[in-house]
Amino acid sequence: MNDPQGRERLLKFGVRNVPVVARGEQFVFGQNLEDVAEFVGLQGTGHKPLPPEELIRKWVLVLRAVQRYLRQMPADRLNERVIDNRDRSIRYMGHHVFRIGEAFLETVEGGVEYAVQLANIPPADGTFTTGDEIARYGDTVIARLEKWWANLEDKSCQQKIKTFFGMQPIYMLYERSTWHSAQHARQLMAVLERYGIEPNQRLTTDDLAGLPLPERLWE
């Protein structure tokens, strides 16, 4: 978004997905932070992953918060952009938060190869036109996630799944999906504030502790 030459460089690598970290003619996908750390010469990220059972609690906590925030969102503003320099509406982002969970389930349960596009499938025209509708869609995703966790035999989450950047342990995508949802929850709180609305039960620092979130809001 901020580098006019960025897309051109990306295409020269033969890459169609972001994030990518590049140095000269070499690059690595940015989905796995440990891979990025190794690529830039660090001895790991220093991040201590949360236990898998703690992740599901935090993920559901985040998704419930997003439901509250969407129900507060003025209906006549849902099609406005979240931020000016990206063509993504509030409606689309709200749907996307729960679509992240569906994409995760399609990969870990259905064997679908995970790709960025999988979580970016937009809502059909004429659907999810209110915050409440999107929030009710969230109920179905949360129920599926809780059922997946309850029925998961090996809760170490080290089983391998197929992604566009190679075979990865479930935990990598599980953690990433959780903090991905949390980052958008933070952004939706900021949108409500912009409209002069106090977010209903803000997510706190303690709620998000242990998730490798970006420091800044719009990264």
Same domain flag for 168 and 80 = yes
Same domain flag for 14 and 109 = no
Q: Is residue 71 part of a domain?
A: yes
Q: Is residue 80 part of a domain?
A: yes
Share of residues in the chain with pLDDT > 70 (%): 86
**Lowest mean pLDDT across 12-21, 123-132, 167-176, 203-212:** 12-21
Residue, of 34 and 96, whose pLDDT is higher: 96
The rounded distance, in Å, linking the Cα atoms of 23 and 14 is 15
Same domain flag for 118 and 33 = no
Structure tokens at 40: 């830039």
Name residue 145's amino acid.
L
pLDDT tens for each residue of 193-218: 999 999 999 999 999 999 999 888 88
Question: How much is the pLDDT for 25?
Answer: 75
Q: Is residue 161 part of a domain?
A: yes
CA angle 37, 42, 44 (to 5 degrees): 60
The rounded distance, in Å, linking the Cα atoms of 203 and 199 is 9
Share of residues in the chain with pLDDT > 90 (%): 68
Same domain flag for 61 and 139 = yes
Q: What is the CATH number of the domain that holds 93?
A: 1.20.120.450
Same domain flag for 167 and 193 = yes
Q: Is residue 131 part of a domain?
A: yes
Q: Is residue 124 part of a domain?
A: yes
Question: How much is the pLDDT for 192?
Answer: 98
Domain hosting 176: range is 52-208
pLDDT tens for each residue of 49-96: 999 999 999 999 999 999 999 999 999 999 999 998 888 999 999 999
Same domain flag for 90 and 143 = yes
Same domain flag for 57 and 131 = yes
Domain count, the chain: 2
